[in-house]
Amino acid sequence: MSHIRGRFQKDADKLVAQYTASVPYDARLYRQDIAGSIAHARMLARQGIVTAKEAKEIVAGLESIRQEIELGKFRFKPELEDIHMNIEARLMELAGDAGGKLHTARSRNDQVALDMRLYVKDTIAETVAGIKELQKEIIGLAEANKTAVMPGYTHLQQAQPVLFAHHLLAYFEMLQRDTGRFADCLRRTDVMPLGSGAVAGVAYNIDRESVARELGFSEVSRNSMDAVSDRDFVVEYQAAASLCMMHLSRLAEELVLWSTAEFGFIEIDEAYATGSSIMPQKKNPDVAELARGKTGRVYGNLMAMLTTLKGLPLSYNRDLQEDKEGLFDTVDTLLSTLEVFTGMVKTLRIKPENMKKALAQDYILATDMADYLVKKGEAFRSAHGIVARLVSHAIEKGKFLKELSIAEYKGFSPMFGDDVYSITVESSLAARNVTGGTAPGQVKKALADAKRLLEASGGGK
């Protein structure tokens, strides 16, 4: 039975009560709900809307309820619909008439909007902290293997040699953009809706700004109708989370590939792998694979929220109750994925000898040979064609480029000389000495910059 029946003469149908109840999942908002209520009660007393004694009783009751919940002693009642009514009902048991005055000058509409904003603010801080921990481990792995060289790929075909550290730092950059997106989301989340009432504001002399200060908001909402129905910040968090999971999924895909016998670039620690029920030799990268799969769930939660919002007239509609489960699932999925990836990256074993071996089994220095001809006066497009034909010749002969004779080289261009054999993986790396390039000096600088960036933002400690 619903706690708030108002003008109705009949109790809600039991199935309706079950269908509309949100307390099984919104109970996790209890900290935010109690914090908002405490700030609201104190403001009511400052404004003379309730007495100082009543506010003190309300605050003491709310703090007692918080302790009950955290000790597992609070009995949630599904018939009271949600976390807000469960707390209010218990408060009235503890504080009597004073508890019944807490809801003065607010609605559940602006109350839940407040709780959600407080929750997303807290979650953004936790998310960014998790990203920074992963970035820290990426930097550590890159530094520990800064001389390792691997093939760089395009279309999953060998392209040019790169330092393994350079490859890893690409993920640092992706995650850095993610922290920027979450910080941007925080700016629009950091707006206090309390005081908007149900739709039109409240008919009491309240002080919204003092409540905002107490709760740590930088500003108050400017339109009551928008404030109670806005869930853009939920969409923004889920969009940022989707991009972050996409980046983690890309890393997961590479870890899966690199750990195969065909690549053999890395070995995933046994703590982050599983065996097979039938094949005793198997060591499966299940953690990375699950991250790829869970990324789809996060995308789905984003699309569900957008779909929920697209047809809602102003202002509050019960559809907005659907803002929570998807968000909570996204938060749990992203935070757990960041945490498990941090441990997995920290324990990776790199096999630089296999990376180097892979470099010798392809025509990965072809671009350097085209550059060699350009430096001798050949137009690049012409040089590109010459080297393409040279590679085709080598493949036909079953040779790699370094195995061709100087006569074979000169058969394709008289510009080739004995110095063509000085083109090596090392010279290829050194030649990319531009900002953002894979030259050892540039990667050393990029590592130092990444560490400074992380430390300046409170990570990397």
- Token pair belonging to 170: 């690409």
The DSSP element (H or E) to which 150 belongs, if any, is strand 149-154
Pairing state of beta strands 349-350 and 191-192? unpaired
| List 3, 22, 40, 155, catalytic entry | 155
Where b means 16+ CB within 10 Å and e means fewer, 119-137 reads bbbebbeebbebbbbbbbb
Q: In whole angstroms, what is the distance from residue 105 CA to residue 86 CA?
A: 19
**Chain center to CA of 348:** 21
- Token pair belonging to 282: 């198997």
Q: In whole angstroms, what is the distance from residue 33 CA to residue 324 CA?
A: 14
Q: How many separate helices (H) and strands (E) can be counted in the chain? A: 19, 6
Annotated catalytic residue 155: yes
Residues ≥6 apart with Cβ < 8 Å to 219: 190, 191, 192, 212
CA angle 95, 96, 101 (to 5 degrees): 85
| List 218, 276, 422, 427, catalytic entry | 276
As annotated, the active-site residues are 155, 276
